[in-house]
Amino acid sequence: MLSVTNRRKDETMRPKKIRAQKVMHTRKGWKHADGVKRLRIIMASVAAAAIVFIAAAGVVIWMMLQGPLQSSQDTTQSDSAQTSAIILPVYDDSFNLVLVNKNRQLKSDFSAQLTEFKGVQIEERILPALEKMLEDAKRDGCHLNVTGGYVDKETQQTQYEQEVQRLMDSGGYTRVRAQEDAKTTVQPGNYSELQTGMAVQFASAESSDVDFGTTKEFRWLEKNSIRYGFIQRYPSGKTTATGHIASATQFRYVGTEHATKMRSLGMCLEEYDTYVRNR
């Protein structure tokens, strides 16, 4: 048995031991809590860094995607600015959309207001647009010669009859067949839009001995002529509609508004005439 003295000593020492154990456990808890806190801080920092990285990557991707779009918009705006800088006279549709072909006679009340341009007669109302177009083409390194314009009724009829005779002389053509086939290249008097003076024929000043459709001058016209109100009168693939074989040389004034619409709709003048009438 423990002596009374020893029991007292033991009882005196026990609380101190318990307090020491509590202090030890408390310190361990502090260390654990401190570790958890640090871990949370680290995790939060990593998460924040990840968010910043993702956001930055998103901004970069967005800018990359916007770049081509902005460039396209700038190009469109630049083209629009160039087009708007071309100030040309505006005429009524009764003038712009005059249609003459082998099946539609020139109206008797139509009167061309003729002027001479580079040795060729043309309708004077198309002169500002034609001059501007040739000037801009030259600036872009494309030198165009105007080789044809207005033809009067008598001359047109003579040319038609000569073509009919040529076909008959070539053999295998009756007069009726020759007359019909001739109309695909040369129309009779009063059935040719050359009598309007609104159609002009071009050749390359640098490559006059080659097919005009293969020249840079034709490619320039094909791309830019609508900005000045001109269209290719007899484009390929439209012979059924126009009644005329395809021709790279002949362009016709219709005004910038109609030229632009015809380009967007992929229509020749005959198709566009039907489209306008049915609206």
pLDDT tens digits, 20-70: 444 444 555 545 556 556 656 666 665 655 565 565 555 444 454 444 434
The answer on 26 and 122 residing in a single domain is: no
What pLDDT does 208 receive?
A: 75
- Residues of the chain whose pLDDT is less than 50? 1-2, 4-9, 11-13, 15-25, 30, 59-62, 64-81, 83-84
CA 53/CA 63 separation, integer angstroms: 15
For residue 184 the two structure tokens come to 């695909």
Q: How many domains does the chain have?
A: 3
What pLDDT does 28 receive?
A: 52
What is the chain's mean pLDDT, rounded? 82
pTM above 0.85, yes or no: no
For residue 169, the enclosing domain spans 156-188
Strand partners, 230: 253
Q: What is the CATH number of the domain that holds 211?
A: 3.30.1380.10
What pLDDT does 206 receive?
A: 86
Task: Show Cβ contacts of residue 183 under 8 Å, excluding neighbours closer than 6 positions.
Answer: 102, 160, 191, 243
The answer on 121 and 164 residing in a single domain is: no
The answer on 252 and 214 residing in a single domain is: yes
